[in-house]
Amino acid sequence: MSEMNCIEIREQFALMLYGELSFDEEERIDSHLDGCAECRTALARQKVLHEAVDAAAVTPSPALLNRCREDLAEMLPRERPAAARESWWSQIAGNWKIQFLKPVGAMALLAIGFFAAKVTPGIGGISSMGLADFGGAQVRNVAAQPDGTLRIVFDEKRERTISGNRDDQRIRQLLMAAAKEATDPGLRAQTVTILVGDANESDVREALAFAMANDENTNVRLKAMEGLQRYANDPMVQNALAHVLLNDPNTGMRTRVIDALTGHDAQGLDPQMVGALQELMSREDDSDVRERARQMLHSIKASAETY
């Protein structure tokens, strides 16, 4: 084999540290390192990173593990990015082409390198975990501050706090996750109340519609509906309202749906909503709700019966 250059040497560092090189290959690297101070420095940095990853005590959530598996499955068939975009991962994986890795070492390096990039913050340029990955069930408290910012307490590996305005993407992601997944109904209600102020944004309306249609707590569902009433022309909101109309066990919620639609003409209602009102007439036990539905259908000149 011809003498290896610095790029080739550094691409082999990760394999060497995991014992995946032959004796002859290690000898060639050692020989190069004897005369190359820059590569010795690069290897020292790689060893520090290697030790930091090995020492990290990480307890990932099932959601993160699933996302890692999906992302890794997508990345495996791809070729390595151009040398100009060399990153920590390219140093770990070396030449992306798996045939250069021995079977056991290949999977170990890919798994450790990829997973470390997901969960180990602040080492050699590794990205920290995205806030959306934490899940609403880990949000512990949301509080408005006198200066208009929001203070959110949530659990990572340990309790962590971030502050920011509602238009901060990190804050919004945590709020929407909490509205959908937080285990405390009081926290979900509090979060929904905050999100109502940003219901002009489609992603926020989607989170509110989810809470309105699916939350087990009536107060949370009601707060979400109150925030969505002025967006009743939105087809996505109407779809959620139709779901509530036909499935919500609370009579007051079903009544509020019809009230939210009052004043709409036939052109302003999605056909699914008209169909939901007609179906409600045949299955609603509450006479007041049924009468409201009949009046609504009459106002838009639609039949009160299904065919």
Which residue blocks in 136-286 are alpha helix, DSSP H? 169-181, 185-195, 202-214, 218-228, 235-247, 251-261, 271-283
Residue 70 domain flag: yes
Residue 90 near residue 117, CB atoms below 8 Å: no
Residue 133 domain flag: no
This prediction's pTM? 0.51
Q: Count H helices, E strands: the chain?
A: 15, 3
Residue 109 domain flag: yes
* Ramachandran angles phi, psi of 294, nearest 5°: -60, -45
CA dist., res. 307 & res. 303, Å (int): 9
**DSSP codes joined into one string, 196-211:** GGGTTSHHHHHHHHHH
Domain assignment of residue 28, given as a range: 6-119
Per the document, the length of the chain is: 307
Residue 42 domain flag: yes
What is the percentage of the chain residues whose pLDDT exceeds 90? Answer: 26
Residue 246 domain flag: no
**DSSP codes joined into one string, 46-69:** HHHHHHHHHH------HHHHHHHH
- Among residues 207, 196, 201, which one has the least CA distance to residue 229? 196
pLDDT tier, 63 (very low <50, low <70, confident <90, very high otherwise): low
Residue 240 domain flag: no
The better pLDDT of the pair 118, 45 is held by 45
Residue 86 domain flag: yes
CA dist., res. 3 & res. 114, Å (int): 30
CA dihedral sign, ordered 214, 217, 220, 222: positive
* Ramachandran angles phi, psi of 240, nearest 5°: -70, -40
pLDDT tier, 260 (very low <50, low <70, confident <90, very high otherwise): confident
- Among residues 113, 132, 131, 133, which one has the least CA distance to residue 123? 113
Residue 148 domain flag: no
Could you tell me which residues are beta bridge partners of residue 163?
151
pLDDT tier, 139 (very low <50, low <70, confident <90, very high otherwise): confident
Residue 118 near residue 129, CB atoms below 8 Å: yes
What total number of domains does the chain contain? 1
* Per-residue model confidence (pLDDT) at position 57: 53
Where is mean pLDDT largest: 37-41, 160-164, 213-217?
213-217
Unique residue bearing structure tokens 């302003």: 268
Where is mean pLDDT largest: 47-56, 107-116, 243-252?
243-252
Lowest mean pLDDT among 116-120, 153-157, 201-205: 116-120
